[in-house]
Chains A and B, each alone.
Chain A
Amino acid sequence: MNATNRALNRLLVLVVGLVLLAAGGAVAVGALLPDVQQTVSGAASDASGPTSDALSGGQPWILWVVAVACLVLIALLVWFALRQGGGRTGTLLELSEGKGAGSPTGGHLVVDAKVAEQMLEEALSDTAGIVSVDVTAFRVKRQTVLRVTANARKGASPLDVRKAVDRAIEAWDALLGTETPVVVQINGGLRTQLSGATRLD
Chain B
Amino acid sequence: MSTSSLYKRILRRETHSSRSGIAITLAVLLILVFAWIGTESVIAAVGGQALLVAPADAASATLDAASAPVGVLTAAGAVVAVIGVVLIVVALAPGRRGRRAGPAGDRAAAVVDDRVIARSLARTASYAGDVDPDQVSVSVGKRQALVEVTRTSGRSADLRSIEEAVRDELDGYDYRPALRPRVVLSKKGTVGA
A residues adjacent to B (C-beta < 8 A): 1-2, 4, 6, 8-14, 16-32, 37, 40-41, 43-45, 47-48, 51-52, 55-57, 60, 63-64, 66-67, 70-71, 73-74, 77-78, 80-81, 84-85, 140-141, 143, 145, 148, 152, 154-159, 161-162, 165-166, 169-170, 173, 179, 181-189, 192, 197-198
Q: Is the interface of A mostly helix, strand, loop or mixed?
A: helix
| Closest partner residue, chain A, to B44 (CB atom) | A63
**In the complex the two chains form, is B47's CB within 8 Å of A57's CB?**
yes
* Cβ-neighbour of B10 out of A32, A78, A145 (below 8 A): A145
Could you list 18 A-B pairs, sorted by A, with CB under 8 Å? A4-B18, A10-B19, A24-B80, A26-B77, A27-B73, A27-B76, A28-B77, A28-B78, A31-B74, A67-B38, A77-B34, A155-B120, A155-B133, A158-B120, A183-B10, A184-B110, A197-B133, A198-B123
Asked if A78 meets B47 with Cβ closer than 8 Å, knowing A19-B84, A154-B119, A188-B113, the reply is: no
The docked-state distance in angstroms from the alpha carbon of A27 to that of B44 is: 28
The docked-state distance in angstroms from the alpha carbon of A19 to that of B170 is: 45
B residues adjacent to A (C-beta < 8 A): 1, 3, 6-7, 9-11, 13-14, 18-20, 22-24, 26-28, 30-31, 34-35, 37-38, 41-42, 44-45, 47, 54-57, 59-60, 63-64, 66-67, 70, 73-92, 103, 105, 107-113, 115-117, 119-120, 122-124, 133, 169, 172-173
B160, chain A: closest CB distance, angstroms: 22
